[in-house]
Amino acid sequence: MDHRLVRPLPQAPQFVGREAELGELRTWWSDGARGVIALVGLGGAGKTAIAARFLDEVARPDQPTRPDRPFVWSFYLEPDVGVFLDQAYRYFMGPESAAAPAKGGGLLHLLRASLLTGERNLLVLDGLELGQ
């Protein structure tokens, strides 16, 4: 399945000095990547750049632990949570999925169920702090 990108994460023009964080992400992913991992820091600290570099590495076609269903969303570019839930639901249900049969919290539960299929999913959500 192809990546679902609303917009690609911006690449850092000079990516240096974040090997420790990337190493932790690589270990988390290679160990089975269960649950949620968050990159937390001040604005401009490089969280998006780290996520973009990690995604580039893990999603390469030659990567043996490549995610089955990677989905990337930037709330900087599309802050509407309802649009995110609808697009994520459609992606994880597959190309033949019809319009989402619910909205809001109901759609969140349907999305959760669509993620529990046994496939290796990777959601990269950028800009979550905008909802605060």
φ/ψ of residue 67, rounded to 5 = -65, 145
Q: Give the pLDDT confidence of 35-76 residue by residue, as tens digits.
A: 778 888 887 778 888 888 898 889 888 888 888 888 998 888
**8 Å CB contact between 124 and 70:** yes
pLDDT at 114: 83
Work out whether strand 69-74 and strand 4-5 pair parallel, antiparallel, or are unpaired: parallel
**What is the tally of structural domains in the chain?**
1
pLDDT digits (tens, 9 = 90+) for 65-89: 888 888 998 888 888 888 888 888 8
CATH number at residue 15: 3.40.50
| DSSP symbols for 99-114 | S-S--HHHHHHHHHHH
- What is the span of the domain harbouring residue 76? 4-131
pLDDT of 1 > 60? The answer is: no
Contact 48, 40 (CB under 8 A): no
